[in-house]
Chain A
Amino acid sequence: MMHAPRGERETPLDRLAPGEQGTIERIVGDRSMVRRLMELGLVPGTPVEVVRRAPLGDPVELRVRQVHLSIRRSEAAQIRVTPR
């Protein structure tokens, strides 16, 4: 699989506003957590969308491979994306 070069634009996923999309570059942090997120389909190169934030601002709802996931913002911060 081709990895896009890590550019200046790489952003933690929690910085994306609801409705914005990005492409996953990499996931940082605890390796079992990285593995699990990737197994759920969050592999580099995959498009991901922040659908909404929960009423209290956390967690956020992601849409990836047509699956909707609830993920805490602290966890989303470990997913690095290129906005598009």
Chain B
Amino acid sequence: MQTSEHMLRTGRHGTLHEFGMAFADLKASTKRIDLAWSLAWHDIVSRYRGSILGPFWITLSMGLMVLGMGFLYAEIFKVPIQEYMPFVALGIVFWGVIVGVVTEGCDTFVHASGMLSQTSLPMFTFVWRTVLRNLITLAHHLVIVVVVLIWFGYWKVANLPMAVLGLALLMLNVSWVSMAVGIASARFRDVPQIVGSIMQFAMFMTPIFWQPGRMSGGRAHALLVLNPFFHMIDGIRTPLMGGQSGSGTYPILALLAVLGWAGAFTAFALTRRRIVHYL
């Protein structure tokens, strides 16, 4: 049980102690991951209370977008529909996860202010809550992925293990971003707006609607290599469509996850005491 049997809280004892406490918080949150799950599930239930389709409304609108864009842009770009439709479908669905985890990350701590200011729940619990909530939403949208892969016959060539690896790396990366913007948003209330703009900008800079192969130099173009979101999408979409992701994709994602978590965790360790006062 979290309401611990023994609680010891002290003043600052140097940076090492702060890291120790941050690590204890992380450990406690994984021990009570079921609480994060309950909160995430409750969020979904309460967000769509009284609605018949629930989260499938978003799936439906995404599906419509995929259909519309699929037909229109296949025509404009002069790409065969059986190649473009799955491409844009996978892009939109997985981009949705990235945007969801990152932008909702801004509210992670702000929305939990009530609980944070009167319980000793681990703060990481709320990070996982945001991440899990978006995984639940993704599970609904997977309908689109499955339909498209079956309809266009890609299920025969899809490399599922690689796609799962890609999804795992994507989640690892977006979750540290989510925590970092969560801390920043608690302190500075401009951050959610900034994050919103950046993500919108990133959507157009990332090959979601347009194919990376159309850039001069293809995948090696600097705008793609330097765009972490491209690697995140590429690590899932390409194997699902039976292709080979860029050779750098997975190593870059792994490196980014390690560096990002190191940075975000450091920020957390240093601000942990203060976050509750920001709110």
Whether A associates with B in a native complex is no
Binding site for A on B (CB under 8 A): none
